[in-house]
A and B are shown apart, each in its own frame.
Chain A
């Protein structure tokens, strides 16, 4: 399993979703991606995008005005 991190700080939705979408295209099924954002909207949008596109959200956390989502790339 390969894991990567995407820095999406300062970006406002839907840009964190677009960057996540573009990054996921480069990954393989089963890989994990950690996305670090400052727009709280990602807590709704990235899980919604994952549900639509068959990826799995493993963890969501928020601390110090940062929002971190770890997802697993689907098949």
Chain B
């Protein structure tokens, strides 16, 4: 009896990786899933924070996919290692701050390390030729295989018939004839395959699975790097970029203004790390100050905080300024008028 081969599938939580894993499982291969958490994954985060998203299901799609497939899922924290991918992408950025090709090379490389450590035979991804301009074009696919070090251990079941033979096919671990030849951006072949497999519920990511493909998020990241004079970040930095209105009236500080209760509760957890402000004379949001504001800056920040309170039309409102050590004082300020809030302050 031949040895049962083992493959690890990169599971993003979307349909393609689900179908790729299922295609190989159908051939009797033992498949387990792997999911890499970079800190920029869209999964869960903002839905967990914002009150307005409370009605939406909060399931993590990669876990959900693994459960539908009946496979184990290994979620790997790559936050620290990923910094170098984002800060120094060898192949550059996409339309925003998304280093998609370097990211794919990095993840396949991590999967290669994982199969060596765990005695698995090959790697599966849900890539489709032509589906994404940067990392899934036909010319880029060999680059991913080569530069990740996975080489012919990387099998893309959804478009394998349009690619050179891989080791799992050459060795007969999988039958190439039962793999697929999907190309392009159309989702019809995948939807037909999903129906064939009996998957009637799957994630339909509208803007990819990464915040770095988002124009507004990318602008905030660029602003962060510019303000600190270096391309570096901590996990808390990238989390805070997902939350609130970001307003930078001066180069040396910015305000993060909670947009609703859920965000206020989330920002409250950072009161020991930042100067914070809130209006005590009228209802209003919690505001964090990131940077090194002067006394004059604090006054301007208090006026902006007042602008976002229900006392915005009052002559004077009270703003509590809380330091990270818990000490507090109150500033009486006149809320900034709408026309005084400059458009370019909004990041």
Contact = CB atoms under 8 A, between A and B. Distances in A.
B60 A45 contact: yes
Interface stretch (B63-71, B148-156, B185-193, B298-306): B63-71
Contact of B59 (A10, A18, A44, A65): A44
Interface residues of A, number: 22
A55 B67 CA distance: 13
B37 A14 contact: yes
Contact of A51 (B58, B67, B74): B67
B47 interface: yes
* Residue among A9, A18, A21, A52 having the largest count of chain B Cβ atoms under 10 Å: A52
Nearest to A38: B269
Contacts of B49: 12
B164 to A, nearest CB: 34
A18 B67 contact: no
A38 B47 CA distance: 13
Interface in B267-299: 269
Given A13-B44, A14-B43, A48 B269 contact: no
Contacts, number: 71
Contacts of A49: 63, 73, 75
Interface residues of B, number: 28
A53 B67 CA distance: 10
A39 B47 CA distance: 10
A40 B54 CA distance: 9
Contacts of B37: 14-15, 18
B203 interface: no
Nearest to B235: A15
A13 B60 contact: yes
B186 to A, nearest CB: 30
Contact of A52 (B48, B63, B265, B269): B63
B242 to A, nearest CB: 9
Interface of B: 35, 37, 41, 43-45, 47-49, 57-60, 62-64, 66-67, 71-77, 239, 265, 269
Chain A to chain B: the 6 pairs with minimum beta-carbon distance, closest first: A13-B44, A41-B58, A48-B63, A41-B48, A39-B48, A45-B60
Given A12-B45, A52-B71, 7 more contacts: A13-B48, A17-B63, A18-B75, A39-B44, A41-B58, A51-B67, A52-B63
